[in-house]
């Protein structure tokens, strides 16, 4: 039978609940248990796909084509489990479903209410995921902070669910903040006491407290927390800020967090195998060299907007004992080529990530031109690939006004065009080409060498594609189409063989990288950069 672990947050948002939920998942996986994580988001959007990355950070895409919260990226990376549509539940999707049922007449004239109809739907989302994955443990994180009005139906649903499955089958973990007051030189537990008392007023008694803190919590304060919040002493877990998020599982293991939870859930503990994870953390700590990798995009003020790209670069760095310093380049500042050259000084490699809309495009084209002409290792992702094709068409093939229909609907030379299947699509929610599709690799290409196989599957999120009419001329001008859809109709990867690393993909490789198993294209980029730097030395 599946055991349930609910994770809530108190005092402030941005506590890193997602990392804690993912880390606990890793500790259970290390014991040989199967685990899935679920994220409940109390906002009214049906999914984050339509939200600006400035508001929400990255939209993470699963194999089955769900556009989800970025925490699913952490879950997948930490637990090495592929998740899907059922793993992210929003208020919007719950209400949408209930209202659709009401319109169909399914409620037979009854009054439709938050309790029981919305809460029942939330509970059915928990059970739905259990049925699909049949995991040993299901970890469910509730977004937002205890006390928020909008998360109340979720809290009520988990209260009911905990009661229904009974003691020993579900526990609540409450993540909270222990702030340090420099004026009195003390760590303060009062906000956490208040947060737990609000949680209790909703009928949920947390069994475990995870205390986020900048410094060690004295034993006396831990005991105070245990007493006032009614949790066992060994269930007050300290979670200090760490240099790397990948250290968190080990810090939690040191305090026996998984053991304490297993005990509460009446599951016999097993010896965890964390050797590989420990080795990973060793590698992270002992990186010998540093590379500066630029990310040239338009959401550079909020690093969460490209979190999977950043993590993927780091993963490839770990495999090379190399620390990756990210240099954020605002593509709008590269519209002036002189400025672009200035900003690219000291950059060892560059990534042009995905994006939407025309703003900053000319700057991205300049960054790519600079990388191409100066043999700076380059990786283009989705929009970055489309820009690489436009840049090549303009500056090498000589089609001066080559463009994408996304940026100029009347473009005469649209080397990037709207996909045929997208032409009659109405609305913006969940309507792109989404999720995993196969791609065939060209033998002898850099991509083929990096993957070491002929056929791959990668995740997509786009409306536009390379216009096939231009493939021949671009090829004749030296651009290699090293990845194509199995029917040969859709360009998936382009590359320039004569450069150290100039590869760009229509898909998003960043969604499949793992800390201990870097994605081939990111590894290819960093391997080539390390090699190039050695040569120059
Ligand atoms: N805007 C481009 C498209 O829709 C690229 C999308 C992306 O980078 N995710 O095709």
Ligand 1 atom closest to 381 (CA) = 8
Ligand 1 atom closest to 355 (CA) = 8
21 Cα–ligand 1 center, Å: 30
**Cβ-Cβ contacts under 8 Å for 122 (sequence gap 6 or more):** 40, 89, 94, 153, 154, 157
Report the SS3 class of residue 480: strand
Same domain, 333 and 246: no
Question: Token pair of 304, please?
Answer: 């969460």
Pocket test for ligand 1, best of 462, 491, 505 (most atoms within 8 A of CB): 462
Predicted confidence (pLDDT) at residue 537 exceeds the cutoff of 80: no
Which residue range is the domain that position 92 belongs to?
3-279
Give the model's pLDDT for residue 460. 97
If you average pLDDT over residues 114-139, what whole number do you get? 97
Domain end point (choices 224, 247, 279): 279
Same domain, 216 and 324: no
If you average pLDDT over residues 437-458, what whole number do you get? 98
The span from the CA of 69 to the CA of 89, in Å, is: 9
Contact status, residue 353 vs residue 306, Cβ threshold 8 Å:
yes
pLDDT interval class at 420 (50, 70, 90): confident
383 Cα–ligand 1 center, Å: 5
Predicted confidence (pLDDT) at residue 57 exceeds the cutoff of 80: yes
Predicted confidence (pLDDT) at residue 427 exceeds the cutoff of 90: no
pLDDT in tens, 226-257: 999 999 999 999 999 999 999 999 999 999 99
Predicted confidence (pLDDT) at residue 448 exceeds the cutoff of 90: yes
Same domain, 270 and 330: no
Predicted confidence (pLDDT) at residue 404 exceeds the cutoff of 90: yes
Active site residue 439: no
- Catalytic entry in 117, 174, 508, 519: 508
Active site residue 510: yes
How long is the chain? 537
Pairing outcome for strands 502-505 and 491-495:
antiparallel
Same domain, 274 and 300: no
- Catalytic entry in 458, 462, 510, 519: 510
pLDDT interval class at 282 (50, 70, 90): very high
Ligand 1 atom closest to 508 (CA) = 9
Q: Which residues pair with 212 in a beta bridge?
A: 177, 239
Same domain, 154 and 194: yes
The span from the CA of 336 to the CA of 437, in Å, is: 37
User: ∠158-162-164 over CA atoms, to 5°?
Assistant: 115
pLDDT in tens, 158-217: 999 999 999 999 999 999 999 999 999 999 999 999 999 999 999 999 999 999 999 999
Half-sphere exposure of 327 (CA within 13 A, CB side): 16
- Indicate the pTM of the whole model: 0.95
The span from the CA of 138 to the CA of 87, in Å, is: 10
pLDDT in tens, 492-506: 999 999 999 999 999
Same domain, 122 and 244: yes
CATH code where residue 142 lies: 3.40.50.300
275 Cα–ligand 1 center, Å: 39
Active site residue 211: no
Same domain, 43 and 170: yes
Same domain, 301 and 261: no
Same domain, 35 and 140: yes
If you average pLDDT over residues 60-65, what whole number do you get? 96
If you average pLDDT over residues 448-476, what whole number do you get? 97
If you average pLDDT over residues 510-526, what whole number do you get? 97
**Cβ-Cβ contacts under 8 Å for 228 (sequence gap 6 or more):** 189, 193, 196
Predicted confidence (pLDDT) at residue 388 exceeds the cutoff of 80: yes
pLDDT in tens, 312-356: 999 999 999 999 999 999 999 999 999 999 999 999 999 999 999
Cβ < 6 A, ligand 1 pocket:
354-356, 382-383, 406, 461-464
Domain end point (choices 279, 313, 340): 279
The span from the CA of 256 to the CA of 276, in Å, is: 19
pLDDT in tens, 129-151: 999 999 999 999 999 999 999 99
Residue 375 falls in which region: left (phi positive, over 0), alpha (psi -120 to 50) or beta = left
- Catalytic entry in 382, 406, 439, 492: 382
- The per-residue pLDDT of the chain, averaged, comes to 95
Question: Token pair of 254, please?
Answer: 């040191």
Give the model's pLDDT for residue 115. 95
Same domain, 448 and 408: yes
Same domain, 270 and 293: no
Domain count, the chain: 2
Ligand 1 atom closest to 464 (CA) = 10
Domain end point (choices 279, 309, 327): 279
CATH code where residue 480 lies: 3.40.50.880
Same domain, 166 and 63: yes
């Amino acid at each position: 039978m599946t055991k349930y672990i609910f994770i809530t947050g108190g005092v402030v948002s941005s506590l890193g609940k997602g990392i804690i939920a993912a880390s606990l998942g890793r500790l259970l996986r290390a014991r040989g248990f199967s685990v899935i994580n679920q994220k409940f988001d109390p906002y009214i959007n049906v999914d984050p796909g339509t939200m600006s990355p400035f508001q929400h950070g990255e939209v993470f895409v699963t194999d089955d084509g769900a556009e989800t919260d970025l925490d699913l990226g952490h879950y997948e990376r930490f637990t090495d489990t592929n998740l899907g549509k059922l793993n992210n539940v929003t208020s919007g999707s719950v209400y949408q479903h209930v209202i659709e049922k009401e319109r169909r007449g399914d409620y037979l004239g009854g009054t439709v209410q938050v309790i029981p109809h919305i809460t029942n739907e939330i509970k059915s989302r928990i059970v739905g995921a259990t049925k699909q994955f049949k995991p040993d443990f299901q970890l469910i994180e509730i977004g937002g902070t205890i006390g928020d009005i909008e998360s109340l139906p979720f809290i009520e649903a988990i209260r009911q669910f905990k009661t229904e499955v009974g003691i020993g089958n579900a526990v609540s973990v409450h993540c909270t903040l222990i702030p340090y007051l420099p004026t009195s030189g003390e760590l303060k537990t009062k906000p956490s006491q208040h947060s737990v008392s609000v949680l209790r007023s909703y009928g949920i008694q947390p069994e475990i407290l995870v205390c986020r803190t900048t410094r060690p919590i004295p034993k006396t304060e831990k005991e105070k927390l245990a007493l006032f919040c009614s949790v066992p002493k060994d269930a007050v877990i300290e979670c200090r800020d760490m240099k790397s998020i990948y250290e968190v599982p080990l810090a939690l293991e040191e305090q026996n967090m998984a053991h304490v939870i297993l005990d509460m859930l009446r599951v016999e503990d097993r010896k965890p195998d964390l050797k590989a994870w420990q080795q990973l953390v060793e590698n992270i700590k002992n990186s010998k060299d540093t590379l500066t990798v630029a990310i040239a995009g338009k959401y550079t003020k909020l690093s969460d907007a490209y979190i999977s790209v950043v993590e993927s670069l780091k993963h490839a760095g770990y495999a090379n004992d190399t620390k990756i310093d990210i240099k954020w380049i605002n593509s709008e500042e590269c519209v002036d080529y002189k400025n672009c050259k200035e900003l690219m000084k000291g950059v060892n490699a560059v990534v042009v990530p995905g994006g939407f809309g025309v703003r900053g495009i000319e700057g991205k084209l300049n960054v790519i031109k600079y990388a191409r002409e100066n043999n700076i290792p380059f990786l283009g992702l989705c929009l970055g690939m489309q820009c690489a094709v436009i840049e090549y068409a303009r500056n090498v093939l000589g089609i001066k006004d080559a463009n994408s229909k996304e940026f100029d609907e009347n473009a005469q030379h649209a080397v990037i065009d709207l996909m045929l299947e997208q032409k009659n699509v109405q609305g913006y929610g969940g309507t792109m080409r989404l999720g995993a599709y196969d791609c065939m690799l060209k033998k002898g290409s850099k991509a083929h060498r990096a993957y070491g196989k002929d056929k791959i599957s990668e995740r997509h999120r786009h409306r536009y594609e390379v216009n096939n009419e231009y493939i021949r001329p671009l090829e004749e001008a030296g651009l290699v189409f090293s990845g194509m859809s199995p029917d040969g109709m859709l360009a998936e990867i382009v590359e320039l063989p004569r450069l150290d690393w100039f590869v760009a993909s229509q898909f998003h490789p960043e969604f499949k990288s793992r800390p201990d198993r870097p994605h081939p294209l990111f590894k290819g980029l960093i391997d080539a950069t390390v090699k190039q730097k050695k040569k120059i030395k």
